[in-house]
Amino acid sequence: MTIHIGAAPGDIASTVLLPGDPYRAKWAAETFLEKPRLVNEVRGMLGYTGTWRGNEVTIQGSGMGMPSLSIYVNELIRDYDAQTLIRIGSCGAMQEKVGLRDVILAMTASTVSTPSRGMFRELQFAPCADWSLLRAAAAAAEAQDITPHIGGIYSSDTFYDERPDLNEQMVRHGVLGVEMEAAELYTLAARYGRRALAVLTVSDHLQTGEALPSDQRERSFGAMVEIALQAAFA
């Protein structure tokens, strides 16, 4: 048990999926895992452990933003020895070629600031995904007749952004989408020698203003969860 995770020793699997929304963790666990059991509900941040095709998996909510994710990932790694951590979440598309419901596999994650930034000082650390997970996720997506977008994303520390000039430069430099957690996840994985990947579903589009209604988002995220699970155990 840690400050933010009430799970007992042995309750957390070595493979952890990390949706930001705790209720999405509940949905994913009940939809994809066999015999899921609630292992954490501290502060309402739900976590479940069950099995997928005989493999033990934990699906733990991580909250919104890099500071929140950093807390959970630090504790999952340091106190529960999590080895593979895969973010499953939504993102906003930044390129015209990326459509609603498309899947993005984040090869790299650029950011202005993360909770780890003070550690690097003048160094602009380039956090990236684990290659074995990225390769396996791409194969899993293609097996579902899904062509994923693979490349760089942007992890923002603000939801209500007021930097159109920055957005313009990211679009110009081919950034596929924006979300709020992956850069810190990749940084922590590098620090502790663990595997990490972000598998994202496009829920809205910064160029067109399109957005999925909330009731359609959940139904559109099934492919993303399946890709993440297949990649983890490839």
Q: Domain spanning 15-232: which superfamily?
A: Nucleoside phosphorylase domain (3.40.50.1580)
Name the catalytic one among 79, 81, 157, 204: 204
Each of the 234 residues of the chain gets a pLDDT tens digit; together they read 899 999 999 999 999 999 999 999 999 999 999 999 999 999 999 999 999 999 999 999 999 999 999 999 999 999 999 999 999 999 999 999 999 999 999 999 999 988 888 888 888 899 999 999 999 999 999 999 999 999 999 999 888 888 889 999 999 999 999 999 999 999 999 999 999 999 999 999 998 899 988 777 766 799 999 999 999 999
The Cα 13–Cα 81 span in angstroms is 8
Q: Is 204 annotated as a binding residue?
A: yes
Q: Is 153 annotated as a binding residue?
A: no
Q: Is 170 annotated as a binding residue?
A: no
Is 204 part of the annotated catalytic residue set? yes
DSSP 180: S
DSSP 129: -
Q: Is 20 annotated as a binding residue?
A: yes
The predicted pLDDT at position 218 comes to 66
The Cα 61–Cα 18 span in angstroms is 6
The predicted pLDDT at position 229 comes to 98
In contact, 112 and 175? CB cutoff 8 Å: no
Three-state secondary structure call for residue 216? helix
Distance of alpha carbon 200 from its chain centroid, rounded?
7
The predicted pLDDT at position 213 comes to 84
The predicted pLDDT at position 122 comes to 86
Beta strands in 94-161 (DSSP E): 103-111, 149-155
* pTM for the model: 0.95
The Cα 231–Cα 234 span in angstroms is 5
